């Protein structure tokens, strides 16, 4: 059936490509890819040669319109570099326009770092908010964290090694010293999931930014956490944890 197929790809281990995704990629007319060089590696692993075209939500309107046009008669596959398209990745405008044009839109679900991290963390998974990447500027980051502080839900953030410490410290400041987890390199050789309070985790990563890809999961506000702790108490906790 022609249309738009949203296809999740591995976030590390290439074996995580689904049988259905591999079969669909093999018969795609065109793959709209975030970075065609990255997707070329996946295709070569699968022994496939399929035409690709770069796609971003900030791509020219005409690029998007041309893809939507092709969906009328062809199988157009949307992939991102890793994981589920649209999740901190391009695609939502393409899906929006495909729907507006009445195209067939379907998804081949699969790996997503946010979901994988919440399952690894051991933190409450019944309610969570996916918050994407925190802003890198301190003020915007603190404002964003403040928006989430009252939510009775776990929080999931994408992060990078160099920014990890600053984010953990800001989360401890803005949310109180909650339980949290740092999931790194999921499904890869160096996969790890380190759990602890936000201040303990901040202390752990203060001097040595970890390598690789990272998801932070923060537990919901507890009844007896340091939620109401004032800044001085938190500062002291952070300093003490970093001294260890």
The residue range among 112-120, 135-143, 168-176, 220-228 that interacts with ligand SAM, by the rule CB under 6 A, is 112-120
Nearer to ligand SAM, 11 or 169 (CB): 11
In the complex, the smallest distance separating the C-beta of residue 110 from ligand SAM, rounded to whole angstroms, is: 9
Q: Which residues inside 159-188 make contact with ligand SAM, applying CB under 6 A?
A: 159-160, 183-188
Q: Which long-range contacts (C-beta less than 8 Å, at least 24 apart) are formed by 53-58?
A: 55/90, 55/91, 55/94, 56/90, 57/90, 57/91, 57/92, 57/93, 57/94
Beta-carbon contacts of 26 under 8 Å, excluding residues fewer than 6 positions away, are 46, 48, 50
Proportion of the chain in helix, strand, coil states, percent, rounded to 5: 40, 20, 35
Residue of closest CB approach to ligand SAM = 83
In the complex, the smallest distance separating the C-beta of residue 89 from ligand SAM, rounded to whole angstroms, is: 4
- Cα(3)–Cα(73) distance, integer angstroms: 7
Nearer to ligand SAM, 15 or 47 (CB): 15
Candidate residues 17, 42, 82, 218; the one interacting with ligand SAM per rule CB under 6 A? 82
The residue range among 53-61, 76-84, 145-153, 161-169 that interacts with ligand SAM, by the rule CB under 6 A, is 76-84
Nearer to ligand SAM, 212 or 221 (CB): 212
215 binds ligand SAM (CB under 6 A): yes
> Residue 54: how many CA atoms within 13 Å on its side-chain side?
8
83 binds ligand SAM (CB under 6 A): yes
- Cα(42)–Cα(22) distance, integer angstroms: 10
The β-bridge partners of 183 are 193, 215
List residues near ligand SAM by CB under 6 A: 11-12, 80, 82-84, 87-89, 112-114, 158-160, 183-188, 213-215
């Amino acid at each position: 059936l022609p249309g738009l197929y949203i296809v999740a790809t591995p976030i590390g281990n290439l074996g995580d490509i689904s049988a259905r995704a591999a079969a669909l990629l093999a018969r795609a007319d065109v793959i709209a890819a975030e970075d065609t060089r990255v997707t070329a590696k996946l295709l070569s692993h699968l022994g496939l040669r399929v035409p690709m075209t770069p796609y971003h939500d900030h791509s020219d309107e005409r690029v998007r319109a041309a893809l939507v046009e092709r969906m009328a008669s062809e199988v157009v596959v949307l992939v991102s570099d890793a994981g589920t398209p649209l999740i901190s990745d391009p695609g939502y405008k393409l899906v929006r326009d495909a729907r507006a044009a009445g195209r067939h839109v379907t998804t081949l679900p699969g790996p997503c770092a946010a979901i994988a991290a919440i399952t690894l963390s051991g933190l409450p998974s019944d309610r969570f908010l996916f918050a994407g990447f925190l802003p890198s500027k301190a003020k915007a980051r603190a404002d964003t964290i403040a928006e989430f502080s009252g939510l009775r839900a776990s929080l999931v953030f994408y992060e990078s090694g160099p920014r990890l410490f600053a984010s953990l410290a800001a989360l401890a400041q803005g949310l109180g010293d909650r339980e949290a987890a740092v999931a790194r390199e999921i499904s890869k050789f160096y996969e790890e999931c380190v759990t602890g309070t936000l201040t303990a985790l901040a202390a752990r990563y203060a001097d040595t930014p970890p390598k690789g890809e990272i998801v932070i999961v923060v537990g919901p506000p507890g009844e007896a956490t340091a939620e109401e702790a004032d800044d001085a108490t938190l500062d002291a906790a952070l300093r003490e944890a970093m001294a260890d």
